Amino acid sequence: MFEPFLILIAATFLFAGFVKGVVGLGLPTVSMGLLAVTMPPAQALAIVIVPAIVTNIWQTFGGPYLRDILRRLWPLMLGTVIGIRLNSGMLAGPYARYGTVILGVLLVIYAIIGLRKFTFNIAPRNEKWIGGGVGVVTGMISAATGVQVIPSMPYMQSIGLEKEELFQALGVFFTVATLGLAFNLTKAGLLSGATALPGAIALVCSFAGMFTGQALRTRMHPDTFKRWFLIAMIALGIYLAGNAIYNTHLA
């Protein structure tokens, strides 16, 4: 049983890394979504956490905009850390079984927003206070599901970051959020030696998938790939939420 589990980990992170290499994000979202089919979100996040941190640190220092990003996004990042701490018991607490339902719903929302290309603009004078509120909500959702794209991603798209600056900003934000989650997992005793081997396999496969995705990025139209990826996320989200609700009623 152990070997098929490691094969599942390898295949999941090869695909999740490939998505990140092509579209610039999605490693935690894809890997959490796929792993949550076979395990609780807390266990999945314990495996996801190291590859997510390492790949996001790599993305953080992949551009020249770090100082400006920190200046503009510090309220979002601070709010996210606060939200993660406020909801720190959700993954391992008595309501942890509902995390998969929330994750499924969030995947559907995230995909629909991406498919409809819904956009709005936030005036610079409002960035900080809106960013702080968005961060708290993102942190609380992230603490329950391990996914940090809602509502942080629409917010970052709305403040006028250029393409390459947004790519680097995603790395900075996800690094901070994932470190906050790692602290929660450590306190809950979910990060242990048992996650070392799956985490190492996940890390290697994430980079292999990411470099493959980057190599194919010039040959593949990212918008076409992203559209089919988002459609698949809707199907996966519906399955996860529906299956979790069904199992909860049986319990």
Per DSSP, the residues of 147-174 read ---TTHHHHHHHTT--HHHHHHHHHHHH
Tokens of 63: 């551009």
DSSP state of 98: G
pLDDT above 60 (res 236): yes
Q: Are 231 and 102 in contact (CB under 8 A)?
A: no
> pTM for the whole thing?
0.82
Q: 97: pLDDT confidence band, cut at 50, 70 and 90?
A: low
Amino acid 76: pLDDT? 97
- pLDDT one-digit tens code per residue, 112-162: 988 887 777 899 999 999 999 999 999 998 888 888 888 998 899 899 888
104-116: b (≥16 Cβ within 10 Å) or e: bbbbbbbbebbee
Q: 59: pLDDT confidence band, cut at 50, 70 and 90?
A: confident
